[in-house]
Amino acid sequence: MSSVPAGPPDAAVSVRDLRVERGGREVLRGIGFDVPRGAVVGLLGPSGCGKTTLMRAIVGVQIVKGGAVTVLGRPAGSPELRRRVGYSTQGAAVYTDLTVRENLRYFAAVLGAPRGDVDRVLAEVGLTDHRDRVAGTLSGGQLSRASLAVALLGAPELLVLDEPTVGLDPVLRQELWELFHRLAARGTTLLVSSHVMDEAGRCQRLLLMREGEILADDSPDALRERAGATDLEQVFLHLIGDRAVAS
């Protein structure tokens, strides 16, 4: 990575001129933004626009072609960030032949998280009643909550959550968003991806992506005002229209 300035010191994440190639194609095209500490930031955009690639760069598992990614004041991927950053991927990240509780005990040991954390995170994701179920027998929504529980172990300062609400019913989605805001109120920073626009309104700040670029980085209200629309889906379409006219 180059020595591009790392962004404001109070930012949880600073990205500058980030370029990533995958499969011989540039999928992140020199993007930059800051994520303020303690905020719930939504990463929205159509399938394939680069959300997962960006999250992978932030947690330090993506080979990048250029630019700088700074996380909690350190270069992304630094060993000391391992316990300070929680990452939940789109696919289930638990062992399907272990029970939910066995999975969490295992990951707590790997991460050096206190053993008491297991019960806390089970309650936070609403899986206490399913703790002794073998993970392979859980529904898709239960499995994704088990993966989320792993990311919550050790109370990381930054949570990077890739589509954590996919496949959940409206009640569970609502409960998870309430959890995200409780965590943020305690000072945790959350970067949450989704391609469901009705979730965008639940974020304090939005990064709207399209084709490897950031179309907008602002609060939902500011974006609505700028586009003269109340519906965030319309805002997104308006921004795409502006970009098409400008190019």
Ligand X SMILES: Nc1ncnc2c1ncn2[C@@H]1O[C@H](COP(=O)(O)OP(=O)(O)OP(=O)(O)O)[C@@H](O)[C@H]1O
**Which residues contact ligand X by CB under 6 A?**
22-23, 27, 45, 47-53, 195
Residue keyed to tokens 């945790």: 188
Q: How far is the CB of 43 from ligand X (least distance, A)?
A: 8
Nearer to ligand X, 53 or 188 (CB): 53
| Nearer CB in complex with ligand X: 61/110 | 61
Query: Which helix (H) or strand (E) covers residue 102, if one does?
Result: helix 100-111
Determine the Cα–Cα distance for residues 191 and 132; give it in Å rounded to an integer: 30
Give the shortest CB-80-to-ligand X separation in angstroms: 26
Q: Which is nearer to ligand X, 52 or 103 (CB)?
A: 52
Question: What are the CA-CA distances from residue 18 to residues 26, 27, 64 (Å)?
Answer: 11, 10, 7
Which residue sits closest to ligand X, CB atoms considered? 23
The nearest distance, CB 209 to ligand X, in angstroms, is: 7
State the minimum distance, in angstroms, from the CB of residue 50 to ligand X.
4
Task: State the greatest distance between any 2 C-alpha atoms of the chain, in Å, as a whole number.
Answer: 56
Nearer to ligand X, 49 or 81 (CB): 49
Radius of gyration of the chain (CA): 18
**CA nearest 195: which of 206, 184, 205?**
206
Residue type (1 letter), 126: G
Residues in a beta bridge with 20:
28
φ, ψ dihedrals at 56, nearest 5°: -60, -35
Instruction: Decide whether 77 or 212 has the Cβ nearer to ligand X.
Output: 212
Beta strand 40-44 with 158-161: parallel, antiparallel or unpaired?
Answer: unpaired
Least separation in angstroms between CB 132 and ligand X: 32
Question: Strands 85-88 and 158-161, how do they pair?
Answer: parallel
Q: Which is nearer to ligand X, 51 or 202 (CB)?
A: 51
Task: Report in angstroms how near the CB of residue 191 gets to ligand X at its nearest.
Answer: 13
